[in-house]
Amino acid sequence: MTTQNTDLDPEDRKIITLARSARARNGVPEGAAVRDDTGRTYAAGTVDLDSLKLSALRTAVAMAVASGATSLEAAAVVTDAEAASDEDRAAVRDLGGAGTPVLVAAPDGTVRSTVSAG
């Protein structure tokens, strides 16, 4: 199920745009962004160091936690993959709860699916 971005809530469009920007700016396979319960956003790209490997979505969640976020409203990942990994959804669930929506978008920003972190 693809969703045109014009059908999305403006705040969800924003985190998709931030995720796309992080992916393009850093030249990494994935970009992600999360929005906390106060409306603050955190964007990140894939981390691929010899000693540390994190997906973009797990990096964005870590950035939110490190900045003091206590809950998430939504998450987005821009990727060539068809779905968010179980590990990525688990990280979102740990901070936001099982019902937190995770938007999975193609590199052009078209939303492929929205699933719960559950």
Q: List pLDDT tens digits, range 74-113.
A: 999 999 999 999 999 999 999 999 999 999 999 999 999 9
What integer pLDDT is reported at residue 7 of this predicted model? 78
76: amino acid identity, one letter:
A
Tell me the torsion sign for CA atoms 84, 40, 61, 21.
positive
Query: According to DSSP H, which parts of 10-55 are helical?
Result: 10-26
pLDDT tens track for 17-69 = 999 999 999 999 999 999 999 999 999 999 999 999 999 999 999 999 999 99
CA dihedral 60, 62, 64, 67 (to 10 degrees): -130
Name the pTM for this structure: 0.92
How far is residue 9's CA from residue 99's CA, in Å, rounded to a whole number? Answer: 17
Tell me the torsion sign for CA atoms 65, 15, 52, 80.
positive
Q: Is the pLDDT of residue 6 over 80?
A: no
How far is residue 95's CA from residue 40's CA, in Å, rounded to a whole number? Answer: 14
